[in-house]
């Protein structure tokens, strides 16, 4: 559906400097004005629309703990704090969700704006608002008011927005908030389907589909950096990976209560998508992880329980061919795309009863009109679900909170203080009239007849083994299946093995698990090669057999192996008569190594021998002195790093990085393209120990503050790189005792 590369955005920034005034440039270098402490003083000097005074304690990482005497003040200040920390990021999300990129980067944004307006993230806004409870409406109204009051009273437009041509901030509305929530819950399957659409017309596609696209169920697909959305802001905001696990008290070192741990996987950028905030009021008490524009934590702990989760890769979307009759009845709406440095563009969006005609955009190739049917076009209540979840007192109440939840589809692991642990699946799954859910584009006579919700899916409760793991694994035992593109079980199996081997697990072991860079498919391939050289083993193989199969940055073996594995796979797939485009799609799957082994076994003896001889010859051409960190690099930056002359000030780290495509510590790279750079992977680590409210450990890649150059923009990255954690307290007395700063907000 979408075939978008980050280049459309990054290249556009090359001309942004032309519109940047000398004043803006001096603002860039005036670092003294941007310190966190000075900004806090300005923040405190104002009076706010509060009923009573609210205290905000800031720890040494810039994590705010908000203490309010009533609930609405709590959410008002949460809006203030989020805008204070991530004003530019939130505004960028809002404009992207509205299809207003062209207002910032000119005509280069026309195609993506057309796509976003065609998708229509605002389709269900009115119905969603209507279905909010009174409490939910009041909370969201207070939250939005906090955002607007901050923007109105602190009148400076942040640098990143100035460089994008934003001269003043428009007031936020509840509609804006809902639209952003829909945008950030875009279906992650959209990041995979286009790979198959590209090769649908190729000779041999049907055989490829059957034999290589993971037996028609697509299990094993992983994001490939070179493909359309992974280098774009969609991968930044849509949680496409993650690990999560919960250890029951029987295996916990304390023997008192469970431990919940998780690390989401997203685009690696600054500012990070996540924010850590503590909240306390008469009805709410939590410490958790927020997505900016969300009033409550989406992962965290409360007085009663803790939770984290992973993306299910749930099936939220279908494409439909349209019949001649449906085409004749299409509705049309006109949209005006305002354009920086150029003429505005008028587009027409065609709508069918099954959804917008997505084939009218440049990112979907089809001879006949194809409609997009997405659950995001229907009412659901994600915010209300998380509000209820933050008040839940047990795992069962937590599950009940999500009965009205829609997308994005998630697997939660949750534990309560009564020592219950559970894995819960939450989504709104469309059910077809004719069950053909594995078909890429549905026939025109089919349609979505109803939906399943979280209550229709199994809950795994208190397993005998004493722990639960989630790593984007498929949901089993449900028909039709709610998952399509689920990754293979490598991370799931590795975490399970590491937890299961010990009678009890302590915090240091959990930290090691989250930083683990072992990759079993690599070990399996090396051992398979060993079997192919039964008499005399070549030197490259002897060296690889001594490797522990960990993708550590100071090792040469990961690079040598990846070069040989890609060479081996391409040779095999060529002999299987796959085209270059088909091979590229296949090697974007996480399971390409095991698929190449399977294909190798099906070749003729002569062909197998030729490949083994070529593999040995290839090994002699590889530079054995290249370490993994020399090629597997992370360029951690803001998109504005592509600006000429001053772009270097927006790059925070450019260097070697551990991990691989399906290691527990995920750091995705391309396969078979001589480019091992990473821009997607683990960007946050969390541990919540329910035996002690102060035993919470976090590691945020980057920092809390999105304002350049605050002391908290990048202060946590060093610990992140070292696999270290910061203790994040929850007890009020400890929070006050360890606070670095106190901001007391006064009512008007």
H or E element in which residue 87 lies: helix 71-97
Residue 605 neighbours by CB distance under 10 Å: 7
The list of the chain residues with pLDDT below 50 reads: 1-33, 212-233
Instruction: Give helix 507-514 / helix 490-500 axis angle, nearest 10°.
Output: 160
- Residue 363's pLDDT is 79
Residue 182 neighbours by CB distance under 10 Å: 25
Task: Measure the CA–CA gap between 448 and 308, rounded to whole angstroms.
Answer: 31
- Residue 207's pLDDT is 64
Q: Which two tokens stand for residue 288?
A: 């958790």
- Residue 222's pLDDT is 37
Task: Measure the CA–CA gap between 335 and 341, rounded to whole angstroms.
Answer: 19
- Residue 238's pLDDT is 53
Looking up tokens 């009148």 gives 155
Task: Measure the CA–CA gap between 204 and 449, rounded to whole angstroms.
Answer: 34
Task: Measure the CA–CA gap between 578 and 576, rounded to whole angstroms.
Answer: 6
Using an 8 Å Cβ cutoff, are 316 and 188 in contact?
A: no
| 3-state SS track over 569-617 | HHHHHHHCCCCHHHHHHHCCECCHHHHHHHHHHCCCHHHHHHHHHHHHH
Task: Measure the CA–CA gap between 284 and 55, rounded to whole angstroms.
Answer: 15
- Residue 230's pLDDT is 36
Q: Which two tokens stand for residue 396?
A: 């069962």
Which residues fall within 8 angstroms of residue 169, CB to CB, at 6 or more apart?
87, 91, 151, 157, 161
> pTM for this structure?
0.91
Task: Measure the CA–CA gap between 672 and 47, rounded to whole angstroms.
Answer: 58
- Residue 645's pLDDT is 73
- Residue 484's pLDDT is 74
Nearest to 314 by CA among 459, 130, 180, 437: 437
Quick one: DSSP state of residue 420? Answer: -
Beta bridge partners of 546: none
Task: Measure the CA–CA gap between 545 and 527, rounded to whole angstroms.
Answer: 8
Task: Measure the CA–CA gap between 392 and 388, rounded to whole angstroms.
Answer: 6
Nearest to 498 by CA among 723, 663, 657, 661: 663
- Residue 219's pLDDT is 38
Sign of torsion, CA 218 223 228 229?
positive
Give Cα separations from 668 to 222, 224, 230, 312 (angstroms): 9, 8, 10, 18
- Residue 461's pLDDT is 96
Beta bridge partners of 631: none
Residue 434 neighbours by CB distance under 10 Å: 12
- Residue 23's pLDDT is 35
Task: Measure the CA–CA gap between 531 and 535, rounded to whole angstroms.
Answer: 9
Sign of torsion, CA 100 101 103 109?
negative
Give Cα separations from 368 to 356, 359, 372 (angstroms): 14, 8, 13
Task: Measure the CA–CA gap between 673 and 393, rounded to whole angstroms.
Answer: 50
Residue 511 neighbours by CB distance under 10 Å: 18
Looking up tokens 């349209």 gives 322
What Rg, from alpha-carbon coordinates, does the chain have? 26
Say how far residue 264 (Cα) sits from the centre of its chain: 7
Pairing of strands 355-356, 441-442: unpaired
Pairing of strands 275-280, 64-67: parallel
Residue 582 neighbours by CB distance under 10 Å: 25
Domains of the chain: 1-487+504-510+637-649+684-748 (3.60.20.10), 520-551+556-626 (no CATH)
Q: What is the DSSP string of 252-283?
A: BTTSSS-EEEEE-EEE--SS-S-EEEEEESSS
Burial bucket for residue 437 (CB in 10 Å: 0-12, 13-18, 19+): middle
Task: Measure the CA–CA gap between 515 and 722, rounded to whole angstroms.
Answer: 9
Q: Where are the alpha helices (DSSP H) in 461-591?
A: 490-500, 507-514, 520-532, 539-545, 557-575, 580-586
Using an 8 Å Cβ cutoff, are 72 and 80 in contact?
A: no
Task: Measure the CA–CA gap between 411 and 402, rounded to whole angstroms.
Answer: 12
Looking up tokens 């085209």 gives 579
Nearest to 311 by CA among 451, 182, 179, 412: 412
- Cis preceding-peptide flag for 329 (omega within 30 of 0): no
Task: Measure the CA–CA gap between 723 and 725, rounded to whole angstroms.
Answer: 7
Task: Measure the CA–CA gap between 728 and 686, rounded to whole angstroms.
Answer: 10
H or E element in which residue 234 lies: helix 233-237
Q: What does the buried/exposed string (b/e) look like for 110-121 if buried means 16 or more CB atoms within 10 Å of the residue's CB?
A: bbbbbbbbbbbb
H or E element in which residue 696 lies: strand 696-700
Q: Give the chain's length.
A: 748
- Residue 12's pLDDT is 39
Task: Measure the CA–CA gap between 465 and 246, rounded to whole angstroms.
Answer: 11
Q: Which two tokens stand for residue 680?
A: 């997607």
Q: Where are the alpha helices (DSSP H) in 401-442?
A: none
Beta bridge partners of 450: 431
Using an 8 Å Cβ cutoff, are 373 and 1 in contact?
A: no
Sign of torsion, CA 432 437 439 440?
positive
Q: Which two tokens stand for residue 582?
A: 């088909």
Task: Measure the CA–CA gap between 428 and 157, rounded to whole angstroms.
Answer: 38
């Amino acid at each position: 559906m979408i075939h978008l590369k980050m280049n459309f955005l990054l290249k556009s920034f090359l001309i942004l400097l032309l519109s940047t005034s000398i004043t803006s440039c001096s603002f860039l270098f005036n670092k003294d004005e941007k310190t966190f402490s000075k900004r806090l003083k300005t923040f405190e000097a104002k009076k706010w629309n509060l009923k009573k005074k609210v205290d905000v304690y800031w720890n040494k990482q810039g994590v705010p703990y908000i203490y309010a005497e009533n609930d609405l003040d709590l959410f008002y200040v949460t809006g203030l704090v989020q805008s204070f920390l991530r004003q530019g990021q939130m505004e960028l999300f809002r404009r992207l969700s509205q299809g207003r990129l062209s207002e910032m980067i000119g005509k280069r944004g026309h195609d993506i704006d057309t796509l976003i307006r065609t998708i229509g993230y605002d389709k269900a806004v009115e119905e969603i608002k209507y279905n909010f409870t009174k409490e939910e409406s009041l909370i969201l109204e207070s939250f939005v008011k906090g955002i607007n009051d901050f923007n109105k009273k602190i009148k400076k437009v942040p640098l990143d927005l100035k460089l994008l041509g934003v001269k003043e901030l428009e007031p936020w509305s509840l509609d804006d908030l809902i639209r952003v929530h829909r945008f950030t819950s875009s279906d992650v399957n959209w990041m995979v389907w286009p790979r198959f659409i590209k090769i649908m017309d190729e000779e041999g596609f049907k055989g490829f589909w059957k034999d290589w696209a993971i037996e028609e169920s697509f299990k094993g697909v992983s994001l490939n950096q070179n493909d359309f959305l992974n280098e774009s802001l969609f991968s930044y905001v849509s949680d496409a990976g993650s690990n999560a696990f919960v250890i029951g008290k029987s295996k916990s070192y304390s023997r008192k209560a469970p431990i919940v741990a998780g690390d989401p996987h997203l685009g690696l950028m600054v500012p990070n998508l996540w924010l850590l905030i503590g909240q306390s009021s008469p009805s709410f008490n939590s410490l958790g992880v927020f997505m900016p524009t969300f009033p409550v934590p989406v992962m965290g702990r409360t007085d009663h329980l803790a939770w984290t989760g992973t993306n299910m890769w749930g099936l939220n979307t279908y494409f439909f061919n349209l019949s001649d009759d449906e085409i004749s009845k299409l509705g049309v709406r006109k949209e005006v795309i305002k354009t920086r440095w150029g003429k505005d563009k008028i587009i027409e969006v065609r709508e069918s009863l099954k959804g917008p005609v997505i084939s009218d955009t440049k990112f979907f190739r089809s001879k006949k009109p194809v409609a997009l049917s997405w659950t995001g076009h229907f009412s659901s209540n994600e915010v209300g679900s998380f509000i209820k979840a933050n008040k839940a007192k047990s795992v069962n109440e937590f599950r009940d909170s999500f009965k009205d939840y829609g997308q994005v589809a998630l697997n939660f692991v949750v534990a309560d203080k009564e020592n219950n642990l559970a894995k819960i699946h939450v989504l709104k799954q469309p059910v077809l009239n004719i069950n053909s859910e594995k078909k890429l584009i549905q026939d025109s006579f089919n349609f979505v007849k109803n939906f399943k919700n979280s209550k229709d899916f199994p809950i795994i409760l208190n397993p005998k083994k004493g722990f639960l793991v989630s790593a984007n694994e498929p949901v089993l035992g449900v028909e039709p299946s709610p998952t399509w593109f689920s990754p293979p079980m490598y991370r799931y199996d590795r975490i399970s093995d590491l937890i299961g081997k010990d009678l009890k697990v302590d915090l240091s072991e959990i930290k090691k698990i989250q930083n683990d860079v072992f990759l079993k498919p690599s070990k399996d391939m090396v051992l398979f090669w060993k079997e192919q050289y039964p008499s005399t083993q070549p030197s490259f193989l002897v060296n690889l057999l001594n490797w522990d199969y960990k993708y550590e940055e100071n090792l040469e073996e990961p690079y040598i192996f990846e070069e040989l594995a890609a060479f081996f796979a391409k040779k095999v797939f060529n002999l299987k008569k796959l085209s270059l485009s088909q091979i590229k799609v296949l090697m974007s799957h996480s399971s390409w190594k095991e698929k190449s082994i399977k294909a190798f076994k099906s070749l003729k003896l002569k062909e197998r021998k030729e490949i083994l001889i070529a593999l040995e010859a290839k090994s002699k051409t590889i530079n054995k002195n290249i370490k993994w960190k020399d090629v597997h690099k992370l360029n951690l930056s803001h998109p504005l790093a592509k600006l000429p002359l001053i772009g270097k000030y927006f790059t925070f780290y450019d260097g070697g990085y551990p991990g691989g495509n399906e290691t527990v510590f995920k750091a995705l790279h391309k396969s078979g393209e001589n480019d091992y750079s990473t821009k997607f992977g683990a960007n946050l680590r969390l541990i919540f120990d329910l035996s002690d409210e102060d035993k919470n450990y976090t590691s945020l890649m980057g920092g809390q503050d999105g304002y350049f150059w605050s002391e908290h923009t990048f202060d946590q990255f060093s610990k992140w790189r070292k696999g270290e954690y910061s203790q994040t307290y929850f007890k009020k007395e400890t929070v006050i005792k360890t606070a670095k700063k106190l901001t007391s907000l006064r009512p008007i």
